[in-house]
Amino acid sequence: MDTDARQSQRDQRYTAIASMWQMRAESGVVIHPMQAAVDAAANLGLDVEDARALLDRAAKLYHDGAYDGLLVCSAKINRILRRELAKIREDEPATWDEYRRTLPDNVQHPPLDALPQDYADRVRGAWLGKCIGTALGDPVEGWTRKAIQETYGRIDRYVRPPQTENDDTAYPILVLHALDEYGMGFTSEDLALEWLAHLPFAYTAEQTALDNIRAGVMPPESRWHGNPCGAWVGAQMRGEVHGLIAPGRPDVAAEFAFRDAILSHYREGVDGEIYTAAAVSLAFRKLPVDQLLREALRYVPASSPIAETVEQTMDWCRQYGDWRPVIEKIEGAMARFHWIHALPNLACAVCGLILGEGEFESTILTTLACGYDTDCSTGQAGALAGTALGPDGIPEVWRRPIGDALDTYVIGFERIELDRLVDWTVDWGRRILAPPGAGEGRSPEGGTR
């Protein structure tokens, strides 16, 4: 190897090591992964003082360009985090039956008499709402409420031409494909292999899980190794599709969401995905939004921080009736959490949904104005509002720029016509909720292949 080639190789190595300490998101936000990992472990109640003591040294090594030393320091921090994470694994449900035993009694709803006549329209509304919300939130992902206000004031249109390629919209495609490949009894490992075959990259907890899966560490173990970020928003952002394929059956949606979530998440990370799935499923029952958000809490443990966050945010919304004092309360209560954590982003979505009062534009713009992981929170609020309202409830000014197709980075599904995506989702919803004897139906107690 000549000198130039060796130098290029060394530069690539050092760039990769440097990104362990500092990187920049496409929205311009600076991220400190090592610091965030230590903070995430602290949020789980773990003892990270030894790791914190190494952060100052890591910062100095980074600023001095001593990247070999930074790599060693990073390994020492990761060893501490791995040791501490082992302390919380035993109490975490690893199967759906274990999780279901943590829920309140009488959580099942009777089936709908029939699928809604406007089922396909409302699925279309959900996909449009998801795409609109993520595209609207992408340019200010990770920004604070104050930064958004100072830069743009009150955003009321797309900041840049919307793009549908986003991790929020990638994972639901793989759920649908897993159903095609394995049927309704697909397992978490089946879905993990879908990730492996079709995801070229991932972020935060999902990337760690994907690395573990590549090494043969399958779920639910894949969520633990080297992953202090299992309570972040990544699973929560994946939940809507499970509600779409189980309309009016939040118990069924919750079970599917659990299988998905345990690839990469635990604790409120799992609860957040299940809550999202249950809420979307309940949206087909045409409940008032406040009742819908409360009903969905029956599918997560009463002691979950997810339940506390939803109830507290709804109380603030009732008390103040305006998003500005509500987000100030959210910021105060959530100050210890990273902007990618599940809890502050759920609080922002609930704020938008309650104060949006059933109107799509108000819902997404209020959620966006709150800041945090804006593509996830606004996508979540947009999908739920879109499910409730259908496409006719989404103003043309938001729908038209999205177009008629979804662009993704999912290998083999780089472009999907919206009509095809809706038909794909609806077909599985009809099959999953088909009455006994009507083909490949399923009950909440089990699946078929």
Please write the tens of the pLDDT for every residue from 200-217: 999 999 999 999 999 999
Cite the beta strand spans of 303-407 per DSSP E. Answer: 405-407
Structure tokens belonging to residue 170: 């990638």
Residue-level pLDDT at 7: 83
Domain ranges for the chain, please list them.
3-85, 97-432
Cα–Cα distance for residue pair 449/445, rounded to 1 Å: 14
Average of per-residue pLDDT across 371-398: 98
Mean pLDDT of the chain: 94
Residue-level pLDDT at 172: 97
- The residue among 342, 374, 386, 407 whose CA lies nearest residue 166 is 407
Residue-level pLDDT at 116: 86
Average of per-residue pLDDT across 344-358: 97
Q: How confident is the model at residue 448 (pLDDT cuts 50, 70, 90)?
A: very low
Q: How confident is the model at residue 112 (pLDDT cuts 50, 70, 90)?
A: low
Sign of CA dihedral 316, 341, 63, 147: negative
Average of per-residue pLDDT across 155-181: 96
Q: What percent of the chain has pLDDT over 90?
A: 89
Average of per-residue pLDDT across 375-390: 98
- The residue among 37, 27, 231, 233 whose CA lies nearest residue 143 is 27
Whether the pLDDT of residue 440 is over 60: the answer is no
Q: How confident is the model at residue 138 (pLDDT cuts 50, 70, 90)?
A: very high
User: 262 near 223, Cβ under 8 Å?
Assistant: yes
Q: How confident is the model at residue 65 (pLDDT cuts 50, 70, 90)?
A: very high
Residue-level pLDDT at 115: 85
Whether the pLDDT of residue 447 is over 60: the answer is no
Average of per-residue pLDDT across 223-227: 95
Whether the pLDDT of residue 442 is over 60: the answer is no
- The residue among 207, 159, 135, 119 whose CA lies nearest residue 428 is 119
Cα–Cα distance for residue pair 342/89, rounded to 1 Å: 19
Residue-level pLDDT at 4: 75
Q: Which class is 97-432 in CATH?
A: mainly alpha
Structure tokens belonging to residue 410: 């999912």
Give me the half-sphere count of Cα atoms (radius 13 Å) on the Cβ side of residue 414. 3
Q: How confident is the model at residue 114 (pLDDT cuts 50, 70, 90)?
A: confident
In degrees and rounded to multiples of 5, residue 446 shows phi and psi of -175, 175
The conformational region for residue 357 under phi > 0 = left, psi -120 to 50 = alpha, else beta, is left
Question: In Å, how far from its chain's centre is CA 6?
Answer: 40
Specify which residues 407 forms β-bridges with. 415
Q: Which is higher by pLDDT, 105 or 150?
A: 150
Structure tokens belonging to residue 256: 């599917």
Q: How many CB atoms are closer than 10 A to CB 149?
A: 15
Lowest mean pLDDT among 66-70, 114-118, 334-338, 368-372: 114-118
Structure tokens belonging to residue 212: 């573990």
Cα–Cα distance for residue pair 126/118, rounded to 1 Å: 12
Cα–Cα distance for residue pair 449/447, rounded to 1 Å: 7
Average of per-residue pLDDT across 188-208: 97
Q: What percent of the chain has pLDDT over 70?
A: 95
Please write the tens of the pLDDT for every residue from 1-42: 678 778 888 889 989 999 999 999 999 999 999 999 999 999
Cα–Cα distance for residue pair 48/42, rounded to 1 Å: 6
User: 167 near 203, Cβ under 8 Å?
Assistant: yes
Q: Which amino acid is at 14?
A: Y
- Does this model's pTM top 0.75? My answer is yes
Q: How confident is the model at residue 120 (pLDDT cuts 50, 70, 90)?
A: very high
Cα–Cα distance for residue pair 197/238, rounded to 1 Å: 18
Q: How many residues does the chain have?
A: 449
Residue-level pLDDT at 443: 40
Cα–Cα distance for residue pair 239/257, rounded to 1 Å: 6
Please write the tens of the pLDDT for every residue from 84-109: 999 999 889 999 999 999 998 756 56
